[in-house]
Each structure stands twice: as structure tokens, then as C-alpha cells.
């Protein structure tokens, strides 16, 4: 309930003056401001729906960037229906440590192009943990333009549950498309009732003293499951080797590889297989 109230307090803050497009983007496009939230720490990611026609693949995005001194830890791409994105654990990471130009249009090329079986993809911009802009400085975020028509974007506080935000503002993020090449993965919309949901899950979360981590796979493979800190350093390795089709369960008790208790805070569980990389944010509270 608290998170819903926070999202209802979304602010579309105007700029002191219009931001002219620079670099990529649409010629002459003006940003009326940058998406910001109250409080900023309530939001860990923003998702924007893009269309990817049959025969095309998404190779990157152009977007109007707020602060050039801050970085999005990751950019993800997810499939989904017309109503909301899936949990971030079911998304594909296509870029890390993404910095754009300061208050200007910027362009990002993905490490891996992605196609869609349904024609719909969601681009997810992940925010730093507990992010808050410094007073008087530009905020990390994506720009918007005021329009008469109603537009939607989606926000999340935990990477699991998404909330639709409707406003008369169009988010200034545009897909970069190319003709689809052979072998490019086409993400598929999750099918309700088609068996156990695939992905990476953790419960309870926040947790103390331990959390159960479930990695649910559609086929047997091999890989690793690790706990990482916010700087990307390995804290603990929970698994290395064969992974079964279906549910693979691991327990993390808040300790590093040396058996020492770690401090309270935000961590990541990272599952890597031959063809996927899944990430879930964890919050240890003591």
C-alpha cells in the first residue's frame, strides 16, 4: 500500500527551459523535463513499451538523458503483454553501467540484439540502489514531452511488481531497429497456465536471517549462482555446475564464502547459464 501511495506521487518536473535535442533522437525534438519520483528511492526501474515489427530486431535505443554524471546500472529488455512487463528476473540484460550525455539525446547499442514473437518489448532502465539526486543537480532519468494524448510507462520498486503510470507525457525513448538476422533470440510473451513460471525468484525479500532462491529453467543446463555486492564483487558462490530442468533451489544465509556474516544492505543474486543471465535484487535487514 505504501508503495502505491509513493507511485501516485510521481512528479513530471519541468525543466527551467526546454531541452533541445542533441546527438541522436528526433531532429528538433524538445524535452519538457525529466521523469522524477517522490521519494526517488522508491523506484528501482522504469519500463517503456516499444514496438518491434516482424522481421526486425531491437539493436539499441535513443533516449533523452537527464544527468550525465550518473549511470544506469543495467538496461534490460523483456517481453510481456500489452498491460505490463514481467519481473526483471525474466528479462535479458543488454547493457551495463550506461551513461548518457548531460541533458541531451543519447544513443545506446545493445551487447545482444533482441527480437519479439509478439511484436512488443519493454526496455527497462534500472536505477542505482537508494538513488537520490543531489540538491540543485540534474537527476538521472529519461526525458518526456508534453502531449495532449495519454501515454503510459511502468515503474517498479522491487523488480517484481510493476505499476502503470498514466500521464499526458510521452517518454522520450525510441527504439533502434534493424533487419533481423538468423539466430537472433525472439523473446516470447509469458503464457498463463503453461506450467511453472520460468525465472529467478527470492523469498522472503527483504530477509533476515536467510532467503530461499529459486532458479526455474525450461531445460537442463549448467551454470553458476552467485551473490554480488553493489560494486559487482562476488560475495558468495551458491552453485557451480549442472542445473536441472524446472526448479533449482538454493539458500543464502547472509554469509560470504568464508562463512562470515555480511552487513545489512542491498545485494544481487546473479544466475548465469549458457544462454541466459538472470539477476534479482536482495535486501538483507538486520
Region class of 90: left (phi > 0), else alpha (psi between -120 and 50), else beta: alpha
pLDDT at 26: 54
Residues 131 and 32 in one domain: yes
Q: Are strands 211-217 and 246-252 parallel, antiparallel or unpaired?
A: antiparallel
> Above pLDDT 90, what percent of the chain?
39
User: What contacts 39, CB < 8 A, 6 or more positions away?
Assistant: 6, 132
- CA neighbor of 252 nearest in space, from 215, 199, 198, 220: 215
pLDDT tens digits, 193-208: 444 567 888 888 788 8
Residues 150 and 266 in one domain: no
* Last-in-domain residue among 167, 186, 205: 186
Alpha-carbon distance of 14 to 18, in angstroms, equals 8
How many domains does the chain contain in total? Answer: 2
CA 42 distance to own-chain centroid: 14
pLDDT at 83: 63
pLDDT at 7: 37
Alpha-carbon distance of 16 to 103, in angstroms, equals 12
pLDDT tens digits, 83-98: 678 888 778 889 999 9
* Last-in-domain residue among 186, 212, 247: 186
Binned at pLDDT 50, 70 and 90, residue 189 comes out as low
Residues 158-188: b if buried by 16+ CB within 10 A, e if exposed: bbbebbebebebbbbbbbbbeebeeeeeebe
Q: Return the CATH number at 233.
A: 2.60.40.4070
Alpha-carbon distance of 118 to 140, in angstroms, equals 31
pLDDT tens digits, 104-145: 999 999 998 999 888 889 999 999 887 878 887 888 899 999
The boundaries of the domain holding residue 268 are 195-284
Residues 156 and 276 in one domain: no
* Last-in-domain residue among 155, 186, 217: 186
Residues 215 and 120 in one domain: no
Residues 139 and 248 in one domain: no
Residues 165 and 215 in one domain: no
pLDDT at 183: 77
Residues 71 and 171 in one domain: yes
pTM (two decimals): 0.63
Residues 175 and 276 in one domain: no
Residues 32 and 156 in one domain: yes
Please provide the distance, in angstroms rounded to a whole number, between the alpha carbons at the two ends of the chain: 23
Higher pLDDT, residue 197 or 259: 259
Alpha-carbon distance of 129 to 114, in angstroms, equals 26
Residues 90 and 201 in one domain: no
Residues 163 and 274 in one domain: no
Binned at pLDDT 50, 70 and 90, residue 36 comes out as confident
pLDDT tens digits, 41-65: 677 889 999 999 989 999 999 999 9
Residues 171 and 33 in one domain: yes
Amino acid at each position: 500500500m505504501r508503495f502505491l501511495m509513493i507511485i501516485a506521487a510521481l512528479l513530471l518536473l519541468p525543466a527551467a527551459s526546454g531541452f533541445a535535442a542533441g546527438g541522436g533522437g528526433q531532429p528538433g525534438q524538445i524535452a519538457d523535463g525529466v521523469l522524477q519520483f517522490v521519494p526517488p528511492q522508491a523506484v528501482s526501474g522504469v519500463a517503456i513499451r516499444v514496438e518491434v515489427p516482424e522481421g526486425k530486431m531491437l539493436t539499441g535505443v535513443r533516449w533523452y538523458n537527464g544527468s550525465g554524471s550518473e549511470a544506469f546500472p543495467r538496461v534490460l529488455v523483456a517481453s510481456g503483454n500489452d498491460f505490463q512487463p514481467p519481473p526483471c528476473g525474466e528479462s535479458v540484460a543488454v547493457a551495463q553501467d550506461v551513461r548518457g550525455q548531460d541533458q541531451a539525446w543519447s544513443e545506446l547499442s545493445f551487447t545482444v540484439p533482441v527480437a519479439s514473437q509478439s511484436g512488443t518489448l519493454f526496455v527497462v532502465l534500472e536505477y542505482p540502489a537508494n538513488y537520490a539526486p543531489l540538491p540543485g543537480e540534474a537527476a538521472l532519468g529519461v526525458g518526456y514531452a508534453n502531449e495532449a494524448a495519454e501515454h503510459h510507462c511502468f515503474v517498479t520498486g522491487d523488480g517484481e511488481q510493476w505499476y502503470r503510470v498514466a500521464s499526458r507525457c510521452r517518454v522520450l525513448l525510441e527504439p533502434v531497429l534493424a533487419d533481423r538476422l538468423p539466430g537472433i533470440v525472439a523473446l516470447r510473451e509469458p503464457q498463463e497456465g503453461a506450467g511453472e513460471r520460468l525465472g529467478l525468484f527470492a523469498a522472503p525479500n527483504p530477509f533476515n536471517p536467510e532467503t530461499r532462491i529459486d532458479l526455474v529453467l525450461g531445460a537442463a543446463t549448467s551454470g553458476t549462482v552467485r551473490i554480488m555486492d553493489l560494486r559487482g564483487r562476488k560475495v558468495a558462490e551458491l552453485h557451480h555446475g549442472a542445473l536441472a530442468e524446472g526448479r533449482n533451489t538454493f539458500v543464502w544465509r547472509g554469509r560470504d564464502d568464508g562463512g562470515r556474516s555480511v552487513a545489512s544492505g542491498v545485494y544481487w543474486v546473479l544466475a548465469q547459464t549458457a544462454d541466459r543471465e538472470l539477476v534479482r535484487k536482495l535486501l538483507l535487514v538486520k
